[in-house]
Structure 1
Amino acid sequence: MNKHYDYIVIGAGIVGAATAQRLSQQYPQAKIAIVEKETAAAQHQTGRNSGVIHAGVYYKAGSLKAQYCREGLEKTIEFCQRFNIPYRQCGKLIVATSNNELERQQTLFEQCHANDLQPTWLNQQQIKQHAPAINGLQAIWVKHSGITDYPAITRQLLALAEQQGSEVIYSAPVSVIDEAQDRVTVEIGGASPCTLHAECVINCAGMYADRLIQSAGHSIDYALLPFRGEYYRLAARHDNIVQQLIYPVPDPELPFLGVHLTPMIGGYQTVGPNAVLALGREAYSKSQVSLTDCHDMLTFKGTAPLLKRYFTAGMAEVRDSLFKTGYLKRIQRYCTHIKAQDLLPYRAGIRAQAVNADGTLEHDFVFVRTERCLHVGNAPSPAATSALPIAAAIVAKLA
């Protein structure tokens, strides 16, 4: 196969699907292909997260994260309503269980106001009124947050793109992007290698976005490192333990939000995730190891300073990953009803976290633009919530 397209979108996660749908809507005569290395869409970060529709609590006002998340909240709900995709705007309690967390809460409360979320303070008694099973000294109530089915949204976005004439090509791992003056060549590996050509390529490859940027001949001063988020499903007796999202107060020094309690679409509850540096970009279990990925991590100059900076926190994550008792203690800080036997196996996810060469974490979205390519270089949470605004921004950058 040797085909030519106007646009090739790499990756059929939610950001790639939203981008393809936006392109097909804006340019209905364009020939568009979405290439995906898996046999189906939304197999990685999109299909392995907690399904939360974020409201913008944690993001500094004026950042791309805050902007896209706030827009994405409303657009995601509108999309779900339009296409009858399940969602629930159940709200979120951010619960403080220690005095030092009370100080951090104040910053979150102010950020909520800056992002137009109208938060409410709850005391101990009011927490019990909202969620009888939850203990805390104080909580922030954010009514806007919700839950949905992101793989279902992704499939609907791809279906809309296909209705406009776009083509989705599965089992098509991209090995190389070669950008020339007059066109871009995309080499497909795997069982059926082929060459595709396009006027423009949009790289939405998630965990592999940095490698594709480098394959295109561009030097970047960061790498995407894989952090495994491990979840548990609660025993059926706890299916209705809460109706809202329950979050701890996060450590502001870390990019992760802590182990939270989530009433999932489907009527069950999960807890998670933690954040453990994985030994592979698709190492969803503790036993999975990729020698290539480990080599890349060990030789990346930002890994050592990252591990040094977060050594104590990282060791705590590893400990609680290995021993259920440590994980359980995190949950029991705000919900003592949950016992060890209630933590049942559930699928893990991998978060692609951009780490700079000096070991610092890149918290915001990163785009790398060239003459004929646009690379989504870093799309951390809340990328799923923000997918529709991100797609609009990508298409605007291509104009």
Structure 2
Amino acid sequence: MADETIGVVGAGIVGLATAREIALRRPGTRVVVFEKEREVSLHQTGHNSGVVHAGIYYTPGSLKADLTVRGVSLLREYCQDRALPYQEIGKLVVAVREDELGRMENLYERAKNNHVPELRKISKEEIKELEPHAGGVAALHSPRTAITDYPAIARAFAQDITDSGGEVKLGFPVTGITNVPGGIEVSSGQLGVPPAEGWGRVRVDRLILCAGLQSDAVAKLAQDKQEPKIIPFRGEYMLLRQDRTHLVRGLIYPVPDPRYPFLGVHFTPRVDGTVEVGPNAVLALAREGYRRSRISPGDLLGLAAYPGAWRMAAQHWRTGIKEYRGSFSAAVFMKDAKLYVPGVGVQDVVRGGAGVRAQALDRDGTLVDDFRIHQVGRITAVRNAPSPAATASMAIAEHIVGAVFGDA
């Protein structure tokens, strides 16, 4: 129906892309985005590495693989149209030991099945031609892998929404989702505190939840099932000193361990000219715990009460200890990094920023790797949108909107 009102909870890049897709695909539909912060893209989007992933890592045929490949072309075209940064600086996925070559070969076959453009295997000598300061015995080279500015893209999406007649309600924390006759009431406010006039309750015909770090909490308001639960992992970065950034030309990544959804410590040039080293992956003590000192008793209690968290800890405690050692010691942090760029040491880096990943976890302790989207009546809940959600955001939006309106 052309006169419908569609609500979207969350003004990260996935929520904004989804709202924008509705506004473009269904003219006449009113779109309202609800965001608890006073700016868009302050959390996962705003702390993103800026990499536009080409689709190397993902299981062929998975939703993640399909949406990433589609998302890259959409994002590239959007950035070109809006004069937003999009730099194809290329990526090396480097094997530093002979025993990694089998995994690298498997990765190559997976990437070919995902139609990653111009990907090729290169020798130790060819690594040096592309990255004179890099180590490694062999690598995969993806010349079309790019970097961009995701917060700038998110702000452009928000502008597209308002230009189309939609609304982005900032400072509107969603505290209630109630089914009412013919629709849904979205409410905001603290208990016992009257909401500001015009901001307390909004009726929509359908609602899409894209709440990122808060996705399970917001889904609970919508009576969705408990699983998967969001476990926050903080990724901390070092920055190469400005006089050492010349040591890295493009993206330098390790061959990933298939047991984990994290890619390991890598070198990431940014569009502003800086070069990040990292991240590690440590359990955060708050969903928005960008600093070690940030602790949320409520988040910790929720974590302790979830059986999946204990099962995850039993499986991965050794890795967890290693990651925490790197969090407190720059020397330990840089030990892995030096395998890929041997000339870089503790003296060449300073502490950088951090991001928090919304890692979805099932009750059995399994780290959820693919996208998960639930339908609860008139509500669509994006329960897990892992990396590369930013890369795939416009394709995810197409998928969600197609599912909501039945025109996929």
Deviations 1:32-52, CA, capped at 9 Å, x for gaps: 111111110110000101100
Whether 1:398 aligns to 2:404 is: yes
Structure 1 residue aligned with 2:363: 357
TM (norm. structure 1) is 0.97
The residue aligned with 1:103 is 102
Q: In the TM superposition, what are the counterparts of 1:1-399 in structure 2 within 5 Å? A: 6-117=5-116, 118-189=118-189, 192=196, 194-399=200-405
Cα deviation for residue 342 of structure 1 reads: 2.1
Letter in 1 for 2:392: S
Structure 2 residues without counterparts, runs of 5 or longer? none
Q: Per-residue displacement from partner, 1:340-381 (whole Å, max 9, x unpaired)?
A: 122212220000011000001111000011221111110000
* Distance of 1:111 and 1:260 partners within structure 2: 20
Contact 2:228 2:383 in 1 (8 A): no
Paired residues, what number? 396
Checking the alignment, whether the CA contact within 8 Å between 2:224 and 2:376 is kept in structure 1 is no
Question: Do the aligned residues in 2 keep the contact of 1:238 with 1:269 (CA within 8 Å)?
Answer: no
TM-score when normalising by structure 2: 0.95
Report if aligned partners of 1:10, 1:34 keep a CA contact under 8 Å in 2. yes
The letter of the residue matching 1:186 is V
Q: CA RMSD in A?
A: 1.3
1:178 aligns to what SS in structure 2? Answer: strand
Give runs of ≥4 in structure 1 deviating > 6 Å.
none
Q: Is the 8 A contact 1:209 1:377 kept in 2?
A: yes
Paired with 2:119 and 2:299, the residues of 1 have a C-alpha distance of 42
Q: Distance in 1 between matches of 2:254 and 2:54?
A: 16
Identity among equivalent positions (%) equals: 38
* CA displacement 1:237-287 (0-9 Å, x = unmatched): 122222210001111111100111011001111111111110010010111
**2:234–2:354 Cα contact (<8 Å) kept:** yes
> Alignment partner of 2:231: what SS?
strand
Asked if the contact 1:245–1:261 (Cα under 8 Å) also holds between the matched residues in 2, the reply is yes
8 Å contact from structure 1 (residues 240, 268) kept in 2? no
| Paired AA for residue 121 in structure 2 | W
Q: Secondary structure at the match of 1:289?
A: coil
